[in-house]
Amino acid sequence: MIKLLKTEPLQCGESLPGYILRLTELNYYDRPSRITSLAGVPIATTTPSFMTTPGDLTLLATLSDVPVEELQRRTYPAVQRHKMPFRVVSFFGHPVSHSVITYDSAKICPACLQEIGCCHAVWDLLPVTTCPVHTCLLLRHCPGCRKRISWKRTKLCVCDCGFDWRNSAVSLIDQREIKLAQLVHQLLQLPVRANSATACANDNPLLSLDLLHLFTAVLFIAGQNEGFTDITGGTYVDIRQLALQFLGSSE
């Protein structure tokens, strides 16, 4: 059984594609597909099947020296017998609509990359467009080449064009605009910035919802505002302003 020359443990909340990318750079491979090929979990499709279909991650566990259960916890398998009229998957044990997870492109927080050097899985949730730790927008496009940030890159923090995202100026936003991301971080028990200005009013009905119903409610409102009602289509909508309006409505 082969093991990668260099391995590092998974970080709290780290995404599996992000971890594979981190191992890619650590071991001087030119593409994450080198590691997924070795592990027998090819990522030829836009949506990597190993992220959505229960598969055998034993080889990847051996390569990375991480328990297979830890790797499996970071995949998004379908939740069976769910009553929602769309496909529901498990996101770190929390049911969510499969359409709120983006697989083909990535978002990043430059300040988080600078501080922790790994990619948070929470950035791959469509409604999460801000970082509640750094009160900034997540980057979807590289400031250097303007291309969408892809998982099929060589380095974790540096674009294929050479731009190091850790040196990118963060787009600071109003603290009220991180409420939705703050709520999501709290539900997932991820770090947040302790600041009462970003907390929702205690009587806000959204506070009682789980992740599945929170996203369904917020995307429904976004859909109404944008003039469409299909919340399962996976279309990107910047719901920051709507969430601000919605989450701040009862204050």
Chain residues that interact with Zn ion, rule: CB under 5 A: 109, 111-112, 131, 133-134, 142, 144-145, 159, 161, 163
Residue 60 or 131: which CB sits closer to Zn ion? 131
Which of 194, 168, 192, 164 shows the shortest CA–CA distance to 180?
192
Pairing mode of beta strands 94-97, 88-91 = antiparallel
Strands annotated E in 23-148: 88-91, 94-97, 130-131, 136-137
Residue 17 or 110: which CB sits closer to Zn ion? 110
Residue 29 or 163: which CB sits closer to Zn ion? 163
Q: How far is the CB of 179 from Zn ion (least distance, A)?
A: 16
Alpha-carbon Rg for the chain in angstroms = 18
Q: Give the DSSP letter of residue 242.
A: H
Q: How far is the CB of 126 from Zn ion (least distance, A)?
A: 18
Rounded Cα distance, 223 and 140, in Å: 21
Q: How far is the CB of 52 from Zn ion (least distance, A)?
A: 26
Q: How far is the CB of 13 from Zn ion (least distance, A)?
A: 12
Residue 219 near residue 127 (C-beta atoms within 8 A): yes
Q: At what angle do helices 179-187 and 211-226 cross, to 10 degrees?
A: 160
Q: How far is the CB of 137 from Zn ion (least distance, A)?
A: 10
Residue 81 or 146: which CB sits closer to Zn ion? 146
Residue 12 or 161: which CB sits closer to Zn ion? 161
The distance from CA 214 to its chain's CA centroid, rounded to whole angstroms, is 16
Contacts of residue 44, defined as CB under 8 A and 6 or more positions apart, other chains included, come to 33
